[in-house]
Amino acid sequence: MTATPEPPAGDQSGAALRLRYAAVSDVGRVRKDNQDSGYAGPWLIAVCDGVGGAARGDIASATAIAQLRKLDVPPTDDPDHDLLARVAGALHRAHDRIGELVDEDPALNGTSTTATVALFDGSRVGVGHVGDSRGYLFRNGEISRITADHTFVQTLIDEGRITEEDARVHPHRNLILKALDGVHEAEPDLFVLELAVGDRLLLCSDGASGVLSDGRLADILNSGSPEFAAVELVRASLEAGSSDNVTCLVAEVVPDDGSPLPEPLVVGAAAERRSAYRSRGAMGGLFRGHRSGDTGELEPVRADIPEDLPAYAITADPIDPEAARYAPRAPRRFVWLKRLFALLLVAGLAWVGLAWAYSWTQDQYYVGEQDGTVVIYRGVNTQLGGIELSEPYETTDVRLDRLSEIEADRIREGIPYDSLDEAESKVQDLASHQEDPQPESSS
């Protein structure tokens, strides 16, 4: 778990709060497919940005949202019903589900998704974060980023090697170091924020945060309703030149007046995977039109759909739980055994490679120097991890101080040969060219 600096404390009065929210996703002006997914409900807002291109990042983000949305239920009075434990558990379930999909369809190998989640309990949010989608808190006219990017450029920023402005144009700005991929356990950042009336939470993919400054985000969040802010954030991102999918979720903290809770919204790839099952009574789009005025992308989708539809139409999960309950279950894939076998195979190949390399070095020789004397070494004239890869094989009576300066320098550097015969022939040649020692002059 990574500690994240918290913004100023929220409302401690204990008054009941609720969220008023909006969600908008747009494929953008460059991408062919929308690989972002978003969910906004009374108790949960979440954004996922799929990674993988041909490996279908849209499936990863939609699958993650299908798991995360199960958190959108009223809080209980159970003291063990910990916010962060619920968030962490949902993220790990999303991770595992993606891994199952990859096992079932190897073509998905390499797919992954970011995930930024805010789970609301009536006064606080438990935040979970993996990747480079972002969470912001807008309070009293000021904006603060509440998540830290798991990216290569963020490590450079943390080390003081580049600035935030440099990061926006860095050639490796899109390289993320953590994601939900079903393979590598990515420990999420987890923390809790106290909320106050008037606070606004923004969760967005990097299609927005990558082109809009904090100041511009604050200006938009400070104007209009959450619906207006979400639409304007997407529109402003596209006008600023975003080349990625853009997804923005805005949730405003308001007093709980006891009125019916608004319907959840699903946007982006998760909505596209459900669109064939959308009811005719679903909510219309927040906006539609050509690119000069607004984004003209999908409308948000109500999360309520006819009860007679199969579960996979609701969850964007390709497996129908009811059908699977009665169907013969396929034997569990021994993933751990496969990984162990792969590890042993890699270790075996590495051992074979090292054995071959060592055998090759034992057929190599070079003429070098030791304590001023010419020596034939067996091996190669180098080190590996501080270990010499050669050892003296034959000593001679040829001394460097009786050779020419040029020849002596060559010997000090080491003259390699492919066979012992060649090395011995060189030593014989050096011996025949030794200069007689100079007599000491008498004073």
Taking only the tens place, the pLDDT of each residue in 369-401 is 998 899 999 988 887 777 788 889 888 988 888
Cα separation of 314 and 333, whole Å?
26
Cβ-contact 172, 153 below 8 angstroms: yes
Beta bridge partners of 387: 384
Helix 57-68 and helix 83-104: axis angle, to 10°? 140
Q: Do 208 and 105 share a structural domain? A: yes
Going by C-alpha positions, the residue among 38, 43, 87, 81 that lies closest to residue 61 is 38
Is residue 154 assigned to a domain?
yes
Beta bridge partners, 117, equal 46, 128
**pLDDT of the residue at 438:** 58
> Count H helices, E strands: the chain?
13, 17
Query: Which two tokens mark 426?
Result: 């060189």
In the 8-state DSSP scheme, what is residue 53?
A: G
Q: What is the pLDDT of residue 172?
A: 84
> Do residue 206 and residue 132 come from a single domain?
yes
Judge if 280 and 406 occupy the same domain: no
Please check whether residue 396 is in contact with residue 376, taking contact to mean a CB–CB distance below 8 angstroms: yes
- The tokens for 201 are 């939470």
| Count of beta carbons in the 10 Å neighbourhood of residue 14 | 8
- Band the pLDDT of 362: cuts 50, 70, 90: confident
Whether residues 24 and 170 share a domain: the answer is: yes
Q: Are residues 274 and 391 in the same domain?
A: no
57 and 195 assigned to the same domain: yes
Domain closes at, from 306, 323, 343: 306
Domain that holds residue 410: 365-432
Contact partners, residue 367, CB within 8 Å, separation at least 6: 374, 375, 376, 377, 411, 414, 415, 417, 423, 426, 427, 430
Buried b (16+ CB within 10 A) or exposed e, 184-193: eebebbbbbb
- For the segment 132-183, what is each residue's pLDDT rounded down to a tens digit? 999 999 999 999 999 999 999 999 999 999 988 888 888 888 889 999 999 8
Q: Which residue type sits at 438? A: Q
Note the pLDDT of residue 407: 87
User: Hey, what are 33's tokens?
Assistant: 């497919």
Closest CA to 181 of 336, 52, 318: 52
Confidence of residue 79 (pLDDT cuts 50, 70, 90): low
Chain centroid to CA 407: how far?
A: 56
Q: Is residue 281 located within the same domain as residue 374? A: no
Written as six digits, the tokens of 439 are: 């007599």
Smallest CA-to-CA distance from 321 within 2, 29, 70 is with 70
pLDDT at 53 over 70: no
Question: Is residue 325 scored above 80 in pLDDT?
Answer: no
- Tell me, what CATH number does 198's domain have? 3.60.40.10
- 338 in any annotated domain: no
Q: Provide the token pair at 376.
A: 């034939």
Q: Is residue 279 part of a domain?
A: yes
CB distance 386 to 371 below 8 Å: no
Radius of gyration in angstroms for the set of CA atoms belonging to the chain, rounded to a whole number: 32
Q: Are residues 113 and 201 in the same domain?
A: yes
Tokens of 422: 């060649």
- Inform me whether the pLDDT recorded for 268 exceeds 80: yes
Between CA 415 and CA 417 the distance in angstroms is 7
Q: How far apart are CA 234 and CA 38, in angstroms?
A: 13
Contacts of 102 (CB under 8 A, 6+ apart): 108, 109, 111, 182, 183
pLDDT higher than 70, residue 264: yes
Are 301 and 369 within one domain? no
Query: Could you tell me how many residues make up the chain?
Result: 443
Residue 263 within a domain: yes
| Three-class secondary structure of residue 157 per DSSP | helix
8 Å CB contact between 125 and 193: yes
Average pLDDT, the chain: 81
Is 63's pLDDT higher than 90? yes
The pLDDT confidence band at residue 288, using thresholds 50, 70 and 90, is very low
Q: Are residues 263 and 176 in the same domain?
A: yes
Tell me: do 253 and 392 sit in the same domain.
no
* Residue type present at position 26: D
How many domains is the chain built from? Answer: 2
Residue 283 has pLDDT above 80, yes or no: no
* Shared-domain flag, residues 166 and 94: yes
Instruction: At 138, list the tokens.
Output: 């807008």
